[in-house]
Amino acid sequence: MAGIGSPTPTPTPNLSAKEIAARSSQTMLELDTLHFVIDLTGSLAYIDNPPTTALKHVDGDLLRPDKVRGLVKVSSLGIVTEVGLISIKGQSYVTNPINQRWEQLPPEWGWYFDPRLPFDEEYGIPAVVPYIELEKVGVEQIDDNFYYHLVGVAQGEQITWWTAGLIKEDDVPVDLWIDTSTFLIYRVHLVELVSDPDRPTEWDITFSNFDQPLEIEAPPLSQ
């Protein structure tokens, strides 16, 4: 929270949580580029069946309408592996975990997480935010910026698609931090209560570098 000598936040007065969410959704969907980081902690979230490979971390960039690149960290049998990923117009490329050379996504891979999904214009985070029942906690200062803090409970159908089916249950607590000046989403926090009562899976998603110049090209493939 703001301390003595801190700049005064300038939120738009009397905006409801619903109005803030609607403005934020429109603003996020108008972006051409952004940087994102997805962190999963707590109970492992497996992205294959039978469950052997768990998603841990994604660090990437989005270039609308159909390009994304990132570094994906997964854990399999206690071993953490990093995989580079580029997706262009639905064609996906990955780095081979053994030699780190780029290749088209092998059809025999038993797992895959598409980093484009959280930003889908119809089913992604910005698109579904206005349909979540949210309440405004207040305005919080993080570093030098001020954010609306909204809390609510998302339903499974609102988020299961962009999480690639990793979250299926109803009643998923969600926190949102939205810039009071730009209405850009800074952070999303989700808790999968049914994953493990004692150590639930938690998703932390942060956004930055909005509308910064960005190029994403297909990688050179190994011969």
- Averages of pLDDT over each 10 residues, the chain, 223 residues: 49 85 96 95 83 89 93 88 90 87 79 77 89 95 94 85 73 94 96 85 94 95 72
d(CA 60, CA 62): 7
Q: Is 3 within a domain?
A: no
> Is the Cβ–Cβ distance between 103 and 86 less than 8 Å?
no
User: If you count them, how many residues does the chain have?
Assistant: 223
d(CA 62, CA 103): 20
| Residue reference for tokens 């493990």 | 196
d(CA 170, CA 141): 31
What's the domain range around 120?
17-208
| pLDDT attached to residue 86 | 94
Say which residues have a Cβ less than 8 Å from residue 195's Cβ, sequence separation at least 6: 42, 43, 45, 201
| pLDDT attached to residue 1 | 42
Q: Is 178 within a domain?
A: yes
| pLDDT attached to residue 108 | 67
Q: Is 220 within a domain?
A: no
CATH number of the domain residue 130 falls in: 2.50.20.20
Q: Is 217 within a domain?
A: no
d(CA 38, CA 53): 16
| pLDDT attached to residue 3 | 44
> Is the Cβ–Cβ distance between 187 and 176 less than 8 Å?
yes
| pLDDT attached to residue 5 | 46
d(CA 3, CA 55): 38
Residue 124 one-letter amino acid: G
Q: Is 221 within a domain?
A: no
Q: Cβ atoms within 10 A of the Cβ of 87, count?
A: 22
Q: Is 71 within a domain?
A: yes
Q: Is 80 within a domain?
A: yes
d(CA 61, CA 84): 12
DSSP state of 25: H
| pLDDT attached to residue 114 | 77
- What count of Cα atoms within 13 Å lies in the side-chain half-sphere of residue 110? 10
Domains identified in the chain, total number:
1
